[in-house]
Amino acid sequence: MGAAEIQLQPQTDEEPPSELSSDEEAAMAVPADPSIFVVRVAAAVLRLPKGSNPMFLSDEARELADSAWDAIGEALLSDPRVKSVPPRSEGARANNARTVKYSEVDDDADDILSTVNDFYGLRLNQPMRFAVHVPRKNQLKYRNIDDVPAETYDAVWDGEFLMVQWEQDSPRRANSGGHVVIEVLAQAVTAAGWGLSQIACTTGCLHRFLHADFVTFADVPDAESFEVPSYGGVGGSVVTPWGKPKDAWENLARMHHAVYNAVGLYTVGRTQADAIMFLERVARADVETLLEVAHRRATRRRFPHIIGSVVDSWNLIGAGRITRELTSELWVALVRLDTLRRAWATTDDRLRRAVNESGLGAVKAVQDIDQDAVRSVELDLLKASVQEISTRRDGRLLALVTFVGALAALSGGLVGALIGG
């Protein structure tokens, strides 16, 4: 063929025509297994009674955890909504049970010293698995949203947090998924004579789960970290770094192993942050009360305003007692705040390392323990205000003691003079 017979095709950005029909292309776009596993995580702490002592990986902790496991497992099995509770393994070699200290806030406390307290939770020696089956129409609905995704759920609970898993064929978010399992566990724990503390992301949050749905897709190659996709689909979704296994329990076990350390630290840090922010607000309110009393004392009318002086003095009855009590309580509260902030800082540091080690760096829901708010808490002004009030009160007391002492000395001198005379 001669050079004159060669015809070059013009360059174009258009794709070459497909030899497949549109239906065939659509069929090829659908994965072989469109189903996904969705896992939600809720902080659900097995609470020990007030006055319990800390225990760390001891035989005592293991025995207590195993007794709790057996009692709660029996209560679960007596619930008709529970399909199964695989028995506890007697062959666990290591002691894993331990206590974990959390902070909690009491909104109804009578004084600032009772507003924040600690309690111990108990980590089970081995996680408890159970399966729940509830018809959709009988399940709790989050904010009355009728989008319950399944009737059967698999769950794992280790005394610190609860994992709930279901399978669905669409990557559409299910707001009401899994909430019924929290109810089932809470009722079983209560029936067994134990306590359960549910710790939400913020006080009063109705969702109760972390705001992240861990989604496992089929035919996904293993990766090093969890990813937050840019597309829509399951709201707040996090893609697990492994493909969907055939066995549901295998997926749950892998999830628990991957995130348990970070989620456990998040829960502790969440309660510490809540306690710090609440105690700081109460302390500021009490300091404001002290300054108001000090202002009323400083502006109290005196002679020659006889009537006004009497009225102001009457209104200040009890002010000295209020000042003494609040000042004393505030000094203790400030020390408590400082202790909490130090503990929170340690938790935050450990959480950051756990998040990096677990490949959860993109998952904000397990990292947010109010870092900006806690670091912005400023105690210097509170301390200075309490110090000023304490100094003034001590100065008045010193003046009073000196005056009384002078009177006593004068009286003694007069009596001596009279006797001597």
Q: How far is CA 209 from CA 43, 111, 392, in A?
A: 7, 32, 50
How far is CA 238 from its chain centroid?
20
What is the rounded average pLDDT of the residues 161-169? 95
| 381 vs 346, residue with greater confidence | 346
What is the rounded average pLDDT of the residues 328-347? 89
Q: Amino acid identity of 189? A: V
Which pLDDT belongs to residue 198? 93
Least confident range from 186-200, 269-283, 295-309: namely 295-309
Least confident range from 6-20, 42-56, 110-124, 312-326: namely 6-20
Q: Where are the domains of the chain?
A: 35-259, 274-416
| 311 vs 348, residue with greater confidence | 348
Taking a C-beta distance cutoff of 8 angstroms, is the pair 128, 256 a contact?
Answer: no
Confidence label for 169 from pLDDT (cuts 50, 70 and 90): confident
What is the rounded average pLDDT of the residues 288-314? 68
What is the rounded average pLDDT of the residues 210-228? 88
d(CA 396, CA 364) in angstroms, rounded, equals: 53
366 CB-near residues (< 8 Å, 6+ apart): 210, 212, 259, 262, 263, 266, 355, 360
Retrieve residue 322's tokens. Answer: 């209020």
Report which listed range, 199-203, 293-297, 400-404, is most confident: 199-203
Q: What are 38-74's pLDDT values in tens digits?
A: 999 999 999 999 889 999 989 999 999 999 999 999 9
Share of the chain above pLDDT 90, in %: 45
Which pLDDT belongs to residue 26? 42
What is the rounded average pLDDT of the residues 65-88? 96
Q: Amino acid identity of 405? A: G
Which pLDDT belongs to residue 172? 80
What is the rounded average pLDDT of the residues 212-223? 88
Q: Tokens 């978010």 correspond to what residue?
A: 173
Confidence label for 101 from pLDDT (cuts 50, 70 and 90): very high
What is the rounded average pLDDT of the residues 238-261? 93
Which pLDDT belongs to residue 314? 61
Which pLDDT belongs to residue 299? 67
What is the rounded average pLDDT of the residues 325-352? 89
The C-alpha angle with vertex 360 and arms to 365 and 158, in degrees rounded to 5, equals 75
Taking a C-beta distance cutoff of 8 angstroms, is the pair 52, 99 a contact?
Answer: yes
- The answer on pLDDT for 25 being more than 70 is no
Confidence label for 249 from pLDDT (cuts 50, 70 and 90): very high
Confidence label for 313 from pLDDT (cuts 50, 70 and 90): low
What is the rounded average pLDDT of the residues 73-80? 97
| 95 vs 128, residue with greater confidence | 128
- What mean pLDDT, rounded, does the chain reach? 81
Report which listed range, 26-30, 58-62, 144-148, 396-400, is most confident: 58-62
Closest CA to 360 of 279, 256, 262: 262
Which pLDDT belongs to residue 383? 74
- The answer on pLDDT for 226 being more than 70 is yes
- The answer on pLDDT for 271 being more than 70 is yes
Confidence label for 315 from pLDDT (cuts 50, 70 and 90): low
- The answer on pLDDT for 117 being more than 80 is yes
- The answer on pLDDT for 393 being more than 80 is no
